[in-house]
Amino acid sequence: MLNEEILTDFVIKVGDEVIKTHKCILAKNSKVFHRMFEQDGMTEAQNGEVILTDTTPECVRAMLEFFYTGMVSDDKMKSHVDGIFAISHRYQVEMLKCLCEHFMCSNIDDESMVKCCEIINLYGAQTLEKGEVIISDATPECVRAMLEFFYSGMVSDDKMKIHVYDIFAIAHKYQVEMLKYLCERFMSRNIDDKNIIKCCGIIDLYGTTTLEKACINYIQANRRNFLKSKEWKKIKNNYSSLVPRFLEPIIERLNK
């Protein structure tokens, strides 16, 4: 999508290069870009371009590669990891910062030690300083699934079937938007009476609109039996705020 430049609506100028991209992708992955586009008075938002003077085209392309695919190639990391870390810090791309820190932790040697110390001093990179990160609110299976996504751009269906709700949770925590999208799409395609309660929990906690629409479609398609089921009673008891959101679109469709 990035390389094909389909329906691009924003330009990043860096060095001698002009990189065409999409506002929605930038805003979804970076809090800084999101604020930039929200404020009509910002020059960048009005002109449809931003000029970057404190980074390189290679680092910008690496950040955009992460935005569009959820990962950055090892070759780019080896050559530009310190610059990629710097631009991800500037644009508040926390997951990319995390990836850069982990990459640096795994590749510390005599040559890179000075640069690592500079990054620790400048940015307070605690993971790099300690050489480890402790995750206490996720299972090893979910962490491995997230790492599988980082390295391959996908997660196996077997892992999704067993851990999709928890994978979504860790993807949300670390702002891995593409993995969140994959999890939500998987959940939306596999709704049944057995898992719809869990889906409601995800909708209630994270506001997942795609999953909510999928639940509405499922309830409408099975309304005669489902609205009499114990699952529907549980939804009414545990997620009462979702009941009107589920029923109103169904009633509107039936009245057309």
* CA atoms of 211 and 191, how far apart (whole Å): 9
The sheet carrying 17-21 orders its strands as 17-21, 10-14, 49-52
Contacts of 76 (CB under 8 A, 6+ apart): 58, 61, 62, 65, 84
Q: In terms of Cα–Cα distance, which of 113, 115, 77 is closest to 98?
A: 77
Instruction: Kindly state whether residues 78 and 155 are assigned to the same domain.
Output: no
Write down the pLDDT at residue 108: 57
Instruction: Kindly state whether residues 157 and 234 are assigned to the same domain.
Output: yes
pLDDT of 112 over the 70 cut: no
Q: Are 102 and 127 in contact (CB under 8 A)?
A: yes
**138: which DSSP letter?**
S
With 0-12 / 13-18 / 19 or more C-beta atoms within 10 angstroms meaning exposed / middle / buried, residue 155 is buried
Last residue of a domain, one of 106, 128, 154: 106
Amino acid at 185: R
Q: Are 82 and 54 in contact (CB under 8 A)?
A: no
In a domain, 78, yes or no: yes
In a domain, 118, yes or no: no
Instruction: Kindly state whether residues 175 and 92 are assigned to the same domain.
Output: no
In 49-79, which positions are buried (b, 16+ CB within 10 angstroms) versus exposed (e)?
ebebeebbbbbbbbbbbbbbebbbeeebbee
Neighbours of 30 (CB within 10 A): 22
pLDDT of 1 over the 70 cut: no
Confidence of residue 92 (pLDDT cuts 50, 70, 90): confident
Q: In terms of Cα–Cα distance, which of 126, 134, 171, 127 is closest to 150?
A: 171
Structure token digits, residue 193: 């009476």
- Owning domain of residue 49: 2-106
Structure token digits, residue 76: 């780019």
In a domain, 111, yes or no: no
Model confidence pLDDT, tens digit, residues 168-222:
999 888 778 889 999 999 999 999 999 999 999 999 999 999 999 999 999 999 9
In a domain, 77, yes or no: yes
Last residue of a domain, one of 63, 91, 106: 106
E strands along the chain, which residues? 10-14, 17-21, 49-52
Model confidence pLDDT, tens digit, residues 39-85:
877 888 788 899 999 899 999 999 999 999 888 988 998 889 889 98
Confidence of residue 248 (pLDDT cuts 50, 70, 90): very high
Percent of the chain, pLDDT > 70? 86
Lowest mean pLDDT segment, chosen from 58-67, 84-93, 95-104, 243-252: 95-104
Model confidence pLDDT, tens digit, residues 123-141:
555 554 554 455 778 888 9
Mean pLDDT of the chain: 86
**252: which DSSP letter?**
H
Last residue of a domain, one of 91, 106, 121: 106
3-state secondary structure (DSSP) of residue 116? helix
Instruction: Kindly state whether residues 202 and 102 are assigned to the same domain.
Output: no
* Total domains present in the chain: 2
Q: Kindly write down the DSSP assignment for every residue of 186-201, as one continuous string.
A: HHHHT--TTTHHHHHH
Q: What is the CATH number of the domain that holds 49?
A: 3.30.710.10
Q: In terms of Cα–Cα distance, which of 86, 174, 152 is closest to 125?
A: 86
pLDDT of 97 over the 60 cut: yes
